[in-house]
Amino acid sequence: MISKLKFSSITVLALFASLANAANPAETEADRWNLKDMYKSQADWDKDAVRLEAQLKEFTACSGKLASSVKEFKRCMDLNSDLQKRYALLASYAFQWRDEDTGATAGMDLSQRADVLGNKLQEASSFASPELLKMGRAKVDAFLKKDKSLAIYRQPLDNVLRSAEHTLDKRGEALIATFGSATNAAEAVYGTLSNADMPWPKVKLSDGTEVLVDQSAYTKYRSLPNREDRKKVFDAFWGKWKEFERTYGVNFYEYLKKSTVYSKVRNYPDSLTQALDGNKLPVAVYNTLVEQANANLPTLHRYFKLRAKMLGVTEMRYYDIYPPLVKSTQVYSIKDSTALMLASVTPLGDDYVKAMTLGTKSRWMDVYSRPRKASGAYMNGSAYDVHPYLLLNHNDDYASVSTLAHEWGHAMHSYLANKAQPYITADYPTFTAEIASTTNEVFLLNHMMKIAKTDEERLLYLGSDLENLRGTFFRQAMFADFERTVHAKVDKGESLTGEAITKIYGDILKRYHGDNEGVVKIDDLYTVEWAYIPHFYRGFYVFQYATSISAGSMFAAEILKGTPGARERYLNVLRAGGSRYPYELVKQAGVDLASPAPYQALVARMNKIMDQIEAIQAKKAN
């Protein structure tokens, strides 16, 4: 019965984010989000926290009374909804204040207080699911029939009732809730070791510069134009992870065992089924994605060969993956980026554009980097009665334009869902969240190609989109392939060492990159990459980036073609929020993610982009 905060992001979760370290001298108050739209002061936050504590006691008193009468049932359901909404606002303010300056004690303290409130909320709510199951579907349906205002709870109630065989009794659920805060050791160890305690190496680059290759430096320097410098960075970075392979192996194995234990406790056949059942996702979606990614590896290999040609390398290596295909010095200010984004989404209609325009002018965004500000980008749509918030680190380059469009796709999803749904069904799962963001990226590319004045511009936009498709579809599908393999082994009772995990990941990594065929050669040292990926500590999560970009590509293509009803079908997916199960919602809108069609359409899009790039190259060669 406890809701999750609606943070959507194209980057690593805030838990694992490194810190931004450069301030933008042009920043003004208009470039900072306005947290006072949530609370005017911390004193107001404190008052609301006290109110939440009181509501928690009141809700706990509902235990044993849900079935007593329709009136009592409605009172408790309404109370549950209100306290969840209040907690989401409290947590949003606290976490976003922390992210403004991750080194400030006040923000850290408030975020910790919000975490404590979240744990209390989970404990206070633990009785609800077992009690609803004890009532049974017949009695719940009878209550819904007697009081029509309870209709807004039909979907969340169904989600509880259908999980009868996977829910423990009241005592069991309370025990699981109590242990909730004590079973995240693996994730915590990963975050601390990887971000705070790792003894990062130093390398001297070809220009004489000595750099400390930590996570943020790796992200920056892995795309250097000098190939030998890239190799130095890769060798140093992955060499350090290799030194800790044994430790990360023990840590990740503990996480995998926890996943297996929870699947057994809740009577699931395996970890994958349990992870997907929370949103009633068919296992066929996951398996079809992995199968289609493997079936279409020739397209990925075509991309790598094209990349090698454009970079001028005869033998593509893993450290040649990240340099941009086209260099550009063009500047895209936040003003220009916003104008481009707004122009690109006109296919979604005037109302969509007007709402987005209002948001861009109303301090919903925190735009630029500052010392100790959280890095990356995310959207938080959990402030239901306020508006979505966006954290950016705008760099005035084209990648920043794409990030802006992506995050505003999330923001408009939340805006439309919050406007159309009551709080209890406004929240939407990741499975649909990334559809909104990737659809807007397709619109952006379409617009940029229309206004591009030179072939160099076109190559920049096409190359950027192609790399995004590679990273979001094939790379995430590769991660999904790996997760399915290691979880299955532990579910069967097999042990895994760090070395064994590296072997499993390395085989998959090399298959996807065509190592045996000579497409991209992967050094064995680099196959410890699995230890670096934080999302593996959120089991069976990343596959949704790949399914979403596939669905988003299909929705955008139909809208741009002018297919009758396509725009409304897509917007209705956004407006639906969490009022329906996501797979069924998307399927009814015309995209079946358990079938090969969406993935084949995305691969066709990649091939079309490569056709355009090769045509431009051929014209330049003549």
Indicate which residues carry an active-site annotation.
407
6-22 per-residue burial string, b: 16 or more CB within 10 A, e: under 16: bbbbbbbbbebbbbbee
- Measured in whole angstroms, how far is the alpha carbon of residue 246 from the centre of its chain? 28
* DSSP type of residue 66: T
Query: How many C-beta atoms surround the C-beta of residue 36 within 10 A?
Result: 11
Residues forming beta bridges with residue 478, ordered by sequence position: none
Give backbone dihedrals phi and psi of 355, rounded to 5 degrees, phi first: -65, -40
Per DSSP, the three-state class of 366 is strand
Per DSSP, the three-state class of 418 is helix
Alpha-carbon gap, residue 153 to 70, rounded angstroms: 13
Structural tokens at position 61: 């008193």
For residues 284, 289, 291, 296, the Cα torsion angle rounded to the nearest 10 degrees is 150
CA atoms within 13 A on the CB side of 264: 10
**473, 477, 483, 459: which is closest to 398 by C-alpha?**
459
**216, 194, 63: which is closest to 134 by C-alpha?**
63
**284, 261, 256: which is closest to 489 by C-alpha?**
256
For residues 328, 329, 335, 337, the Cα torsion angle rounded to the nearest 10 degrees is 10
Residues forming beta bridges with residue 8, ordered by sequence position: 379
**511, 507, 530, 508: which is closest to 519 by C-alpha?**
511
Alpha-carbon gap, residue 145 to 74, rounded angstroms: 12
Query: Could you tell me the maximum CA-CA distance found in the chain, to the nearest angstrom?
Result: 82
Q: For 328-425, where are the E strands, in sequence order?
A: 365-366, 378-380, 389-391
Structural tokens at position 274: 């349990």
Alpha-carbon gap, residue 330 to 26, rounded angstroms: 18
Alpha-carbon gap, residue 524 to 462, rounded angstroms: 32
